[in-house]
Amino acid sequence: MERIGGYLVERKLGEGGMGTVFLARTRGGRAVALKVAKAELAADPVFRERFRSEVEAARAVGGFHTASVVDADVDGDPLWLATAYIPGPTLAARLAAQGAMDEPQLRALAAALAEALESIHSCGLVHRDLKPGNIVMADDGPRVLDFGIARAVESTRLTATGTAFGTPGFLAPEQALGHDVGGAADVFALGAVLVAAAGGSAWGEGTPMGLMYRSVHEPPDTSAVPAGLVDVVTACLAKDPAARPTPAELLDRLTGEPAGPARPDTPSYHPTLATAPPAPRPAPTPPAPST
């Protein structure tokens, strides 16, 4: 079997814009997802410098909803990045197998993704390619994969030809137009992911150019989204990045509880069971009438 960076490669998991992802193991048997950059990217000095800075930032991303970076080689040939391997189907595979999610499932997915983006953005990263294929439905909840490398790919001469990096159908308008992007682009993608998870498509079907055109110029199709979530999804899909909620604001709207310490006049926890009211005292027995 092939070894890369001391990791024993077992099989290929997938292929994307950056390169190839393998399932590999440490010498002690721990599984990792090993992402190996394409040779033509690794040969670009701009990519190498960006890759180094993005890996350094990605190491700081924690939280329950991402796959942590455990190792990387930013100087060698090939360039590679190892993250914890998260078993489970992707959201795309789960939707193909089980169909659309209901409102409670969509709310849980939205909250988990918002929390993941909050963690990623707090480290100065922007995912840039959030989509159902980059979300693993692990046993303990959704995990976001493939963050921390998109900016390196996006910045190279190979992608500086007017072609937007990312996946049409989930690209924010500013991304499709080749403008600078911030965290708001990930929130836009989150909105499109929720439409897909509800069984719809925010921008319909068709060619990549058609999808990008509609994302820039036309309103999204949210007809598949449950009524209780339409406003949240529509806000995420606003054309203007400044009009979209932040991940923290999304969590406030989804949970109904603002973050931060509890107010003095409210309990700091929510009891799981309501306390039963005290039983009423029995009424006193009236005295017997005198004869």
Catalytic residues: 129
How far is 33 from 21, CA to CA, in rounded Å? 6
CA angle 208, 33, 107 (to 5 degrees): 60
Beta bridge partners of residue 4, listed in sequence order: 7
Q: Which of 151-177 are b and which e, b meaning 16 or more Cβ less than 10 Å from the residue's Cβ?
A: bbbbbbebbeeeebbbbbbbbbbbbbe
Q: Could you give the CA distance from residue 151 to residue 159 in angstroms, rounded to a whole number?
A: 11
**Cα–Cα distance, 126 to 156 (Å, whole number):** 16
Q: Who's near 64: CB < 8 A, 6+ residues apart? A: 115, 140, 141
Terminal-residue alpha carbon distance, the chain = 106
Among 231, 248, 256, 131, which residue's Cα sits nearest to residue 183? 248
